[in-house]
Structure 1
Amino acid sequence: MIFPPECKVVGHAFEKPVGDRVYFLSQYLVRRVEEGFELLKVTPDPDGIGMMRDILHEEVLATVGETILYSERVNQHDRAGMVRRALSTGKRCTIFGAMDEHMNFVLDPDLSLFQTVHVYDIRPPRANLSVTIEELEEAGLLGELNCTFSHHIRDISTINADVFPCRAGGFTRTLDMDRMTGGERVAGCLTGKQLYEECYGTNYSRIDICPLSQVTEEPFIARCCRKERGGIGEYNGYFGAVVHWGASPKTVLDAVYAMMAAWRERHG
């Protein structure tokens, strides 16, 4: 796959106002031809003078029959999203226009070259970590990482339990609002366990709903309400990041970047 990290190396050859010369930073050209577009790789003269340089070498990377101009403008910082869109066209080369009129392309799209990060969360209520990751990805704030995200969201409303954590999830009997009498099946995490046993003793059974307990793949990011578990490291043998229940988008963003830097340092 060829997918330039920056649009500044991609030029367009729709017209030739200064003849057969190209901008000195150009590595690729999108050239308009009668039937559509083709993609060229170019080598500007490194010893030339000025911004526009003679071309020492050019090569057609994708012909007009292999190339398509994507029908909508995209956020070019959402790199995984662009690869998905390129795959959807069925063409070897997809040219993208951006909101700011810059151009980029994806040639021979391949998502397997992106690192998969596993996201663990629960609902109801809102799966806040998962939704935040999706919003950050759509905004292009995670594009530099060249990652995709696989979301593992457990719906705790399907659990056969008598008591759930809180009314915020829409449950009718919860630890935060109802008095326990003993013998209940409680859907809860370590905090729920601690609360129940401090207030009512140990005559109950618990179904663990903590997202961190569901982790089975790495690298990962998970949400947990225990502050002492937050940070980056190994959890039950899997490497990843843990953020607090109410983590802000900035905190989530920083955690993903720090975790991926540590992951890549470990794996070269």
Structure 2
Amino acid sequence: MIFPEEYKHVGVTKSFCSDTEKPIYFLTNYLIAEKENPQTGSSEYAVYNVKKSGEGLLRKVEALEAIASGKEVVKYDRDLNIKDRTLLIETAKKLCTGKVNTVIFTGVDRHVTFVHDPDLSSILELEILDVAPPHPSWLSLVVRRLEASGIFGDLQVRFTEKVIDLRRFEGKNTVFPCSASGLEGKCLDSDVLTENGHLLVGCEISKTLFEMRFPELEYSFVNICPFKSEVVVPSKPFITRCCRSENSGLVKISGFDGAVVHWGASEYQVAETIRKLVSSLRQTSENLNIQP
């Protein structure tokens, strides 16, 4: 796949000269040439890799290496957010059928880029691992809101969700940590327990609080802490949350690299943590690829 990191590296011309006599702007690593087909009156495109030399704003073109041309190239007919790399790769993949292997995109700011031989495997999948209620889960809501803002556009990621619905444990003998959840059962922060046989659904802190409040009672326990749970378990690289701030940061759980944010993390902290996680995952992948 060829997909320029920045659209500032893509130049566009309607007066293409194949003899490379004209100088080119120093940032231009790729050139899109547009010309009119005299038979159809429609535009045709060719995409080139630019080899250049020299110093200064304008450089000497040493060679123009063809990437795609003619029926291999189509131009998408709507303006998109061309900073959203995942969107462009997925859109290009749908359009690359038959002879087409390259799609040109125009941004809402009228800048242009392209994707050649789109590769869906280059998109990094991250799992949002959380519990509910509320619905949607808090972490899912925050990540999706951030995603919609475009803040992850350059990361080339796709988010999936694995949300454990705690309503499956509801019952008159079930104890949840907090009454704010709205779950049916008893809650550590509002109920007094006097009988054995309750089911506590919570984390290590919930377990400690239960035993401090009701040291004489026997109970069973479902751990929903992602570090120790048999219920809340990642299936791929992930972002999750924990009520213990000291657990925040990059972690490995069940063999998967991931990141943890505090239960009450801000949107900024979630975004920053995801960016750190993606950087770490990409670096690990690069290191594996260069090993002999």
Whether the 8 Å contact between 2:50 and 2:65 is mirrored in structure 1 is: no
How big is the shift at 1:21?
Answer: 5.4
Distance change (3 Å), C-alpha of 1:104 and 1:190? same
| Residues 176-213 of structure 1 deviation map (CA, whole Å, 9 limit, x = unaligned) | 33333432223222232222222223422222223443
How big is the shift at 1:246?
Answer: 1.4
Match of 2:190 among 174, 177, 181: 177
**Aligned letter for 2:112?**
M
Whether the 8 Å contact between 1:10 and 1:30 is mirrored in structure 2 is: yes
1:157 aligns with 2:170: no
* Equivalent position SS for 1:133: helix
Aligned-partner Cα distance in 2 for 1:70–1:123: 40
Match of 1:41 among 48, 51, 68: 48
| Residues 20-44 of structure 1 deviation map (CA, whole Å, 9 limit, x = unaligned) | 6543322222333434442411426
How big is the shift at 1:118?
Answer: 3.0
Tell me the TM-score normalized by structure 2. 0.77
Whether the 8 Å contact between 2:73 and 2:104 is mirrored in structure 1 is: yes
Matched with 2:213 is: 199
Distance change (3 Å), C-alpha of 1:70 and 1:266? closer
Tell me the TM-score normalized by structure 1. 0.82
Number of equivalences: 266
Distance change (3 Å), C-alpha of 1:83 and 1:266? closer
Matched with 1:108 is: 117
Q: Which residues of structure 2 form unaligned runs of 5+?
A: 37-41, 288-292
Aligned-partner Cα distance in 2 for 1:23–1:44: 12
**Aligned letter for 2:95?**
T
Whether the 8 Å contact between 2:72 and 2:102 is mirrored in structure 1 is: yes
Whether the 8 Å contact between 2:53 and 2:61 is mirrored in structure 1 is: no
Of residues 107-116 and 212-221 in structure 1, the stretch that sits farther from structure 2 once superposed is: 212-221
Aligned-partner Cα distance in 2 for 1:64–1:99: 25
Matched with 1:10 is: 10
Distance change (3 Å), C-alpha of 1:66 and 1:138? farther
Matched with 1:227 is: 245
* Equivalent position SS for 1:26: coil
**Aligned letter for 2:214?**
Y
Identity %, equivalent residues? 34
Matched with 2:257 is: 239
1:254 aligns with 2:266: no
Matched with 1:30 is: 32
Of residues 194-203 and 242-251 in structure 1, the stretch that sits farther from structure 2 once superposed is: 194-203
Distance change (3 Å), C-alpha of 1:72 and 1:164? farther
| Residues 147-198 of structure 1 deviation map (CA, whole Å, 9 limit, x = unaligned) | 3333222222233553433343332334133333432223222232222222
Distance change (3 Å), C-alpha of 1:204 and 1:71? farther
